[in-house]
Amino acid sequence: MNKTNRVAKQLKDFWDEFKQVKFGIAGIILLLLFIFLVIFEPFLTPFPEASTRWRDITYWEDNPRSVPPVWINWFSQKDYTPTEYIEDLEYTEQNISGPITMLNTVIEYQYDYDIPPVDLIYRGTFKGNFSLNIVLERPDGNKINLVNKSFTSNTEKDFRISLVNESGNNVRSFARRYVKNLPPRVDVNTVLFSQADGELFSNPTPLNGTYKLNINLMKMTEETVIEDTRLVVSGSVSGLLGTDNSKRDVWSGLLAGIKWALFIGLMTSAISVSVGVIYGVVSAYYGGIVDSIMQRIWEIFINIPLLPVLIVLSAIFKPSIWSLILMMSLFFWVGPVKTVRSMALQIKEETYVEAAKALGASHRRIIFRHMIPILIPYSFASMALNVPSAILYEATVSLLGLGDATIVTWGQILHDAMNGGAVTNGLWWWVVPPGIAIALVGMTFAFLGFAMDTILNPKLRTR
Amino acid sequence: MYWRYAVRRILMGVVIYVVIIFIYSALFNTVMDQTLNSQIVEQVNGEMMKMSQVGTDPQYLLEYRQRRISELRQLYHLDDPVLSRIFWRAIDTLTFNYGNSTVMRSFEGETDVLKIVLERIPNTLMLFTTAIIIDILIGVWLGIKKAQKAGRTMDKTTSIITMGVYGLPSWWFGMVMIMLFAFAIPIFPSGGMNSVPPPTTFFGRLFDTLYHMALPIITLVFIGFWGRAYLTRNIVLGNLQEDFIMSARARGIPERTVLYGHALRTSAPPILTMSLLSLLASFSGALVFEGIFSWPGMGNLYWSAVQMNDIPVLLGNLSITTLIYISGIVVLDLIYGFLDPRIKVGGKA
């Protein structure tokens, strides 16, 4: 039997045994799920740039602030308006006189909810000179002139009309027709989406039906260009997991965090376990003075409390994700050393190692070709079991605000949640999912690790 | 002989501590130099302010400033070569001479780092020893039950929960618990060690502290005992498969006596060490946990020192944390060596 065949057979045997362990299979399924989520990340989120523009406030400005996920509508009695994007608006064009052209579009918005959206935002890019007029026609026939505004710019620029900010006065005067004494703060969207009666503020009833948003754009010059216009209904619920207090979509952040969690976990455990295994084998193989020195060094490292050191190191040196992985590996390698050493001490006495020595094989060859391969199953088990702690340490360091600011990790989301008062204000959709994600990845690798452990130590299975 | 083993083990702990402090000193040398330097300049500026009010010669003032700065630099060994600085910093740290904080103050308003750290230690120890004792009691009890019924439903479900909890951040669980039991259903305080203002009577204060301890302890125990149970199960199960158990059973000794009298007695030393080792491991993890519950312990000190960028406090806290950690490991080894005579060769479990 040649070598590749032997390895293939060993792998197959291992797999056959592994299949017997149910939670091992569960671990593999979970791992595949995570890999799937990483690969298809851009297609699974409405914000494909979440990963690179997480801290860019302009990227998130159309989202509502701190609102729960859409699916709470299934559980709550009142329906919240979800966020909606109305794009590809088609305009009818009409020349008025000379260079002046009129563009008109009517957006029909079906409102079947109880709690109105947080805002309506009309935006696009333009160059030149135009004026904008938005009239809302409600299902009850009332027409409200919301916005009149003109824009001028010589270069291409964004324009963004938030109805809550721009139409306050017009909405107040509309409300004054029905209610004598207006409260000091008038919630624009409550007025727009409620039945116009005396109880507009004390006890508003939602007015369901089709709302028509009549948008008129008047181009003042022929060179004026208006592009990429869209209407954003910034809902009172948003996304799969709601938004945080910087208007960011939590689901997108969570999805973007998976790859970093896996990367940090796998890198750290692969580096540290490899180092630890080689260290243990070398220490056992040479024995004597080399062994004692190596064991003393190991003892020093095992006596350093890892987390405080990591915190202080990160606080002082402000590390990137790479240096954080390196720092963690620097302390994690101690884990497998003792077990590996005791295993290697046995392997060292095996006849084939003796034979290799007698044949004049080099130390390096004996260590890497004859001793370490035997320890590979054990290494994989301890690598799997190390992944969760690496993720946990990164999350903890990030929680203190010491993470790498160029990426998004779950720990950083939790740090923001902690600082943003998510715990005190009960914004559970911001706190619970990242923690569950950390726990799920941890569980995945715990399943894999414990499954391998069960195979390697058949004694533990049952009585 | 036990005492010789003990002395050797303690000495080894001391040596390791000294080595680690030297490593820290080397690692953080530059940062500490900068902090010290700015502290000196600040101090001298303060002295100058006082002097200049009397109306002294500006030339003399400038001279004084230079002389004073170089004096202080000499005092703190700042002009010495790097190696000697590292050495002196390590010696300072080893003699608990951590210097002064830059921003933070102790509860009484002092700037001495040692005082700031020392007043926090009892709070940390109080929270964690209580949690860990409850944790071990529940964990070992559950572990024995699991070993007794290995492979049955109870064993399996609890094992799966163990794996679920394996990667769970304890501090995250703390956040959720606060959200649930301090804000949604307000039955516990959200943090701190005492109410504001604290009760005046001794018993009032005691109960108030216990009440504030309840939620963090429940959280810590709930996260902790699963792993302990799993470990205990494996150790007890391993022993139950030994020949002496078989012979005990064959002799018709009741199952209860076999379990508690025979299996558990041999399992006790490893269970104890494993538990105490994981106590030490959870010690550093739980430090972050304090920040969540704003428990005024050492972990919370890390948290606030990081936020205020107070390097001397961070390093002083780190040195003391390391000292406590190493002492814990040494004490553990001593207990283990006492319980299991085979382990008097100096290694760790």
ipTM: 0.83
Q: A351-357, long-range: CB within 8 Å, 24+ apart, which pairs?
A: none
- CA dist A448 and B223 (Å) reads 20
* Statement: residue A461 has pLDDT above 60: no
Residue A258, domain extent: 3-43+251-460
Pick among B168, B190, B320 to test the A interface (most A CBs inside 10 A): B168
Of B167, B190, B318, the CB nearest to A388: B167
Verify whether the Cβ–Cβ distance B163 to A423 is below 8 Å. Answer: no
Residue A39 has a pLDDT of 92
- CA dist A255 and A418 (Å) reads 20
Residue B349 has a pLDDT of 35
B chain contacts of residue A312, beta-carbon cutoff 8 Å? 28, 302, 314-315, 318
Please give the share of chain A, as a percent, with pLDDT higher than 90.
18
- CA dist B297 to A205, A423, B44, B45, B128, Å? 52, 21, 33, 34, 10
Same domain, A300 and A377: yes
Verify whether the Cβ–Cβ distance A459 to B168 is below 8 Å. Answer: no
Could you tell me whether strands A143-162 and A119-137 are parallel, antiparallel, or unpaired per DSSP bridges?
Answer: antiparallel
Mean pLDDT of A202-218: 87
For the stretch A257-280, pLDDT in tens is 999 999 999 999 999 999 999 999
Same domain, A228 and A162: yes
A chain contacts of residue B347, beta-carbon cutoff 8 Å? 338
For the stretch A361-375, pLDDT in tens is 888 888 888 888 888
B226 and chain A: CB distance < 8 Å anywhere?
Answer: no
Same domain, A122 and A192: yes
Residue B341 has a pLDDT of 64
Residue B95 has a pLDDT of 86
B165 and chain A: CB distance < 8 Å anywhere?
Answer: yes
The candidate with the shortest Cα–Cα distance to B240, out of B261, B222, B220, B212, is B261
Mean pLDDT of A286-307: 89
Token pair belonging to B200: 């005046």
| CATH number of residue A288's parent domain | 1.10.3720.10
B17 and chain A: CB distance < 8 Å anywhere?
Answer: yes
Same domain, A33 and A116: no
Which residue from B minimizes the CA distance to A436? B168
Is the residue at A54 inside a domain?
no
B chain contacts of residue A389, beta-carbon cutoff 8 Å? 167
- CA dist A114 to A55, A195, A251, B179, Å? 33, 11, 24, 27
Which residue from B minimizes the CA distance to A449? B163
Of B17, B151, B171, the CB nearest to A463: B151
Mean pLDDT of A204-226: 87
Which residue from B minimizes the CA distance to A265? B167
The count of structural domains within chain A is: 2
A chain contacts of residue B160, beta-carbon cutoff 8 Å? 23
Count of beta carbons in the 10 Å neighbourhood of residue B137:
13
Same domain, A211 and A277: no
Is the residue at A273 inside a domain?
yes
Query: What's the one-letter identity of residue A308?
Result: P
Same domain, A177 and A307: no
Mean pLDDT of A144-160: 87
The answer to whether the beta carbons of residues B223 and B292 sit under 8 Å apart is no
B chain contacts of residue A402, beta-carbon cutoff 8 Å? 306
Classify A92 as helix, strand or coil.
strand
The answer to whether the beta carbons of residues A157 and A140 sit under 8 Å apart is no
Most confident of A50-59, A336-345, B14-23, B260-269: B14-23
Same domain, A122 and A188: yes
Residue B54 has a pLDDT of 62
CA distance B59 to chain A (A): 39
- CA dist B73 and B33 (Å) reads 10
pLDDT band for position A191 (50/70/90)? confident
Verify whether the Cβ–Cβ distance B166 to A446 is below 8 Å. Answer: yes
Residue A112 has a pLDDT of 87
The answer to whether the beta carbons of residues B91 and B26 sit under 8 Å apart is no
Verify whether the Cβ–Cβ distance A396 to B165 is below 8 Å. Answer: no
Is the residue at A246 inside a domain?
no
pLDDT band for position A433 (50/70/90)? very high
Verify whether the Cβ–Cβ distance A432 to B176 is below 8 Å. Answer: yes
The answer to whether the beta carbons of residues A277 and A372 sit under 8 Å apart is yes
* pTM of the entire predicted model: 0.85
CA distance A145 to chain B (A): 42
Residue B343 has a pLDDT of 54
Which residue from B minimizes the CA distance to A384? B167
Question: Mean pLDDT for chain A?
Answer: 86
- CA dist A112 and A193 (Å) reads 10
Asked which of A237, A266, A284 is the last residue of a domain, the reply is A237
Count of beta carbons in the 10 Å neighbourhood of residue A210:
12
Verify whether the Cβ–Cβ distance A399 to B171 is below 8 Å. Answer: yes
Mean pLDDT of A428-441: 91
Residue B154 has a pLDDT of 85
- CA dist A39 and A262 (Å) reads 12
Is the residue at A228 inside a domain?
yes
Task: Give chain B's domains with CATH numbers.
Answer: 1-95 (no CATH), 113-309 (1.10.3720.10)
CA distance A440 to chain B (A): 7
Token pair belonging to A341: 């050493």
Q: Who's near A176: CB < 8 A, 6+ residues apart?
A: A182
* Statement: residue A434 has pLDDT above 90: yes
- CA dist B143 and B232 (Å) reads 5
| Comparison of pLDDT for B267 and A289, the residue scoring more | A289
Q: Angle between the A410-419 and B170-178 helix axes, to the nearest 10 degrees?
A: 30
Same domain, A322 and A353: yes
B293 and chain A: CB distance < 8 Å anywhere?
Answer: no
Verify whether the Cβ–Cβ distance B175 to A401 is below 8 Å. Answer: no
Of B288, B309, B329, the CB nearest to A399: B288
- CA dist B97 and A335 (Å) reads 33
Residue A463 has a pLDDT of 36
Walk along chain B (349 residues) in steps of 10 and give the mean pLDDT of each run.
Answer: 85 92 87 82 79 69 81 78 84 84 78 88 86 87 86 84 82 90 86 79 86 89 86 84 83 83 79 74 74 88 86 89 88 79 49
Please give the share of chain A, as a percent, with pLDDT higher than 70.
98
- A7: DSSP letter: H
Is the residue at A65 inside a domain?
no
Dihedrals phi, psi of A196, to nearest 5 degrees: -80, 100
Asked which of A212, A237, A262 is the last residue of a domain, the reply is A237
B chain contacts of residue A438, beta-carbon cutoff 8 Å? 167-169, 172
B chain contacts of residue A428, beta-carbon cutoff 8 Å? 176, 179
The candidate with the shortest Cα–Cα distance to B168, out of A258, A261, A442, A255, is A442
CA distance B132 to chain A (A): 18
To the nearest 10°, the Cα dihedral for B3, B8, B11, B13? Answer: -100
Of A299, A308, A418, the CB nearest to B318: A308
Verify whether the Cβ–Cβ distance B19 to A459 is below 8 Å. Answer: no
Residue A31 has a pLDDT of 93
Mean pLDDT of A110-136: 88
Same domain, A261 and A199: no
B246 and chain A: CB distance < 8 Å anywhere?
Answer: no
- CA dist B59 and B225 (Å) reads 70
Same domain, A199 and A269: no
Of B169, B184, B291, the CB nearest to A435: B169
Asked which of A206, A237, A268 is the last residue of a domain, the reply is A237
* Statement: residue A32 has pLDDT above 90: yes
Count of beta carbons in the 10 Å neighbourhood of residue A185:
7
The answer to whether the beta carbons of residues A54 and A415 sit under 8 Å apart is no
Same domain, A161 and A189: yes
| CATH number of residue A144's parent domain | 2.60.120
In which residue are the tokens 């040596």 written?
B15
Is the residue at A73 inside a domain?
no
Is the residue at A59 inside a domain?
no
Is the residue at A52 inside a domain?
no
Mean pLDDT of A124-134: 89
Same domain, A162 and A223: yes
B346 and chain A: CB distance < 8 Å anywhere?
Answer: no
